[in-house]
Amino acid sequence: MANINGQQVKENRIDVLDKGYVRLEAITGSDLSTVNSAKVSYDKKATEFTEREKRLIKFLATHGHTSPFRHAFVTFEVFAPLMIARQWYKYQIGSAHEEIAPANDPFFAWNESSRRYITEEPEFYLPAPNEWRKAPENSKQGSGDAINSELGMRLTETMLEHQLQGLVLYEELMELGVCAEQARLALPAYGLYVRWYWSASIQGVAHMLNQRLAHDSQKEFQQYARAVYDIMIEHFPVSIDELVKLAEEQTK
């Protein structure tokens, strides 16, 4: 059991996919923080969390009074393929949850490792033979049923060969003295693992979870969202239970 910001954490890291993970870096506040953020309007403060406080959180969530859920924060370290990182990027702390957040929003909290500066060994997401999926029949996005095992095996082998070829070229460019920011052009992009820190309020996390735990979200992202959910429900059991109804249904 780890200790983060004075709080005991049973599981502060959950592995996802073949090499990825979600790790809780920092946490500020609790369900009681949400309660007192609401109570301050009446110059009140609770010192313990009881059924009364639980009912208050339920009332706030049910009636859309979301500002009290913005006073507790978490920071996650995430290691995921670039295809997930670029979907995740839209969920920013302090945003109005619009499709396109303001470019000058001063509350963005996203810091990502850059291959302009680092030259650590590249890692790629390689789907297992049974993880390949067909294109959906009646939609332009998402995925359908699993591809047969024989074809899946061939696709995994082909993808591995493609990744290795890119890695060989990347290493050759580096050895020839090409700068890292250009040598990275050789790396197959969307399967390349990247690492970043993401900070968000309870409301911000819940917004992401409601969208990315949905059945029509990319399945790989669903796995990352489930890892975030499992960590969040431990620390904010009432708030997350009320705000993330979809996740609650899927975990039963």
- Nearest 5°: the CA angle 90, 210, 206 is 75
- Neighbouring C-beta atoms of residue 128, cutoff 10 Å: 11
H-helix segments, the chain: 31-39, 51-62, 82-88, 149-175, 180-183, 202-212, 219-235, 237-243, 245-250
Write the DSSP string, 170-183: HHHHHHTT--HHHH
Cβ(172)–Cβ(164) below 8 Å: no
Of the residues 23, 184, 212, 226, which is catalytic?
212
Long-range contacts formed by 116-124: CB under 8 A, 24+ apart = 116/180, 116/181, 116/184, 117/180, 118/180, 119/174, 119/180, 122/167, 122/170, 122/187, 122/192, 122/193, 123/19, 123/192, 123/193, 124/81, 124/163, 124/188, 124/191, 124/192, 124/193
Q: What Rg value do the Cα atoms of the chain yield, rounded?
A: 21
* CA separation for the pair 213, 226 (Å, rounded): 7
Name the one residue in this structure whose structure tokens are 């309870």.
Answer: 202
16 three-state secondary structure: strand
Confirm whether 226 is a catalytic residue.
Answer: no
Catalytically active residues, by annotation: 212
